[in-house]
Amino acid sequence: MNQLFSEHFRRNADSRDSWKCFSEHRQRVTELLLSLESPSYERLCILGAGNCNDIDLRQLLQKYHEIHLVDIDETALLSGIQMQCGKMPGNITLHTGIDLTGIGQPLEAWKAGLSGGEAAFQELLSQAAVATFDQLPKDCNVVASIGLLTQLFDCGVLSLGPSHERLAELLVCLRHRHLCLLAETLCSGGTAALVTDFVASTTLPDLPKIAAEQLASYLSAAIAAGNFFTGANPQAIHATLLHDAKLAPLFEQIRIHPPWRWNFGPRVYAVCAVEARRSSTPVA
């Protein structure tokens, strides 16, 4: 098995029994998905569902007629459904074994030292930019990427190494392709929610004790100081959706939701959601 994917499987296994730990974060994510405006609530797709600790499936099933759960780890999905629902609900569909980086094999070659050099790196970027995901559902009313973006980034970090001089370029490329994927998965007028962690208490030690009413301004100052996970700056994501030549025509009504904290035992993460509506205007 690809070692990068093995690490993802290992992390899923380690967090499988973390339902209680996810409680406040799960409530925020679930409330967000229940509050999103959409022409209908026929079809919800969740990218990177994992153990489903981030979402309350029973609440979501009361609003959405179909739920599509996507993750490379089938065991994690089945475990999460078993824990929340007992048996598999008829209106949940699993999409497993899908590499959402789109470049898992080339990244594994870099990790193994089988690839390198400028030409190989440019080829890696090119492959990431045009990666296809034909196995995913289309015409969804709501699509949510939940904590997935930084997991995709981790694949890049594990492959190239954290000090690689071109790492940031690769992560931005992965982010751009992921934002395009959100648009590709949506129906016209559908809504995307990108939920991502963007900084942790390891570099922001006061994060756990900042008063809730001061959290937004505190995190804005951290971002201004460059204290965030490379590629996960929510303000940069917002700006990309607004101004990127390819993405801007695809989305409208773009906004950043107020941040919240996710207390994950030894670390506390700051999390936010960027919401965008799929444009109903045909793209030339």
Higher pLDDT: 39 or 88? It is: 88
**284 in a domain, yes or no?**
no
Indicate if the pLDDT at residue 186 is higher than 70: yes
Looking up residue 160, the CATH number of its domain turns out to be 3.40.50.150
Strand pairing class (140-146; 43-47): parallel
Mean of pLDDT over the chain: 91
Give mean pLDDT, residues 212-223.
96
Give mean pLDDT, residues 95-101.
92
Give mean pLDDT, residues 216-220.
97
**198 in a domain, yes or no?**
yes
**227 in a domain, yes or no?**
yes
Give mean pLDDT, residues 202-228.
96
Domain that holds residue 92: 3-277
Indicate if the pLDDT at residue 113 is higher than 70: no
Q: How many domains does the chain have?
A: 1
Higher pLDDT: 262 or 119? It is: 262
**166 in a domain, yes or no?**
yes
pLDDT score, position 281: 66
Give mean pLDDT, residues 1-6.
71
Higher pLDDT: 6 or 220? It is: 220
Indicate if the pLDDT at residue 228 is higher than 50: yes
**92 in a domain, yes or no?**
yes
Indicate if the pLDDT at residue 67 is higher than 80: yes
**202 in a domain, yes or no?**
yes
Kindly state the percentage of the chain with pLDDT values over 90.
73
Confidence of residue 282 (pLDDT cuts 50, 70, 90): low
Indicate if the pLDDT at residue 110 is higher than 60: yes
**283 in a domain, yes or no?**
no
Give mean pLDDT, residues 218-239.
96
pLDDT, one tens digit per residue, over 125-176 is 999 999 999 999 999 999 999 999 999 999 999 888 898 889 999 999 999 9
pLDDT score, position 284: 44
Least reliable range by pLDDT among 92-106, 175-189, 244-258: 92-106
pLDDT, one tens digit per residue, over 243-253 is 999 999 999 99
